[in-house]
């Protein structure tokens, strides 16, 4: 098993994310550098003054690929997708509508006049270029 960078893995000391894969100067052969979720490691991604990846102190560990017990997809699998972006745009439009209503309406002012109604704006309708 040769997991790609960003793969979530289970190793004997715990679960973490692959941050390095390759040869090192501290021992021959191929090594996998993992940033653990818990402080159960041995380093910060550096060994004997050579940095292979960066993480907090004692969150890094190097193992042989054969020591990886399981993989759980990629940390990128949880990245925001298009539906999340649309949800954010909807919230932004609601916020803008609220601010415009609060700022430009009242007993002395007319509601903010738009060349098109706020709900007719292309961003509001989900027609994002």
pLDDT in tens, 112-124: 445 545 555 555 4
Higher pLDDT, 108 or 70: 70
Question: Going by DSSP bridges, is the β-strand pair 30-36/70-74 parallel, antiparallel, or unpaired?
Answer: unpaired
By CB neighbour count within 10 A (0-12 exposed, 13-18 middle, 19+ buried), where does 100 fall?
Answer: middle
The single residue listed with the structure tokens 């430009």 is 104
pLDDT of residue 111: 46
Mean pLDDT of 80-106: 62
SS3 at position 10: strand
Confidence label for 75 from pLDDT (cuts 50, 70 and 90) = confident
pTM of the shown model: 0.61
The span from the CA of 63 to the CA of 24, in Å, is 12
């Amino acid at each position: 098993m040769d997991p790609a960078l960003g793969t979530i893995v289970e190793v004997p000391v715990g679960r973490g994310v692959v941050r390095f894969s390759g040869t090192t100067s501290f021992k021959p052969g191929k090594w996998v550098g993992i940033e653990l979720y818990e402080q159960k490691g041995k380093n910060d991604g550096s060994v004997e003054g050579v940095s292979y990846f960066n993480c907090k102190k004692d969150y890094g560990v190097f193992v042989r690929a054969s020591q990886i017990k399981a993989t759980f997809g990629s940390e990128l699998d949880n990245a925001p997708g298009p539906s999340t972006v649309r949800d954010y745009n909807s919230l932004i439009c609601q916020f803008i509508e609220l601010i415009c209503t609060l700022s430009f309406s009242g007993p002395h002012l007319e509601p903010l006049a738009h060349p098109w109604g706020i709900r007719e704006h292309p961003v509001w309708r989900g027609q994002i270029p």
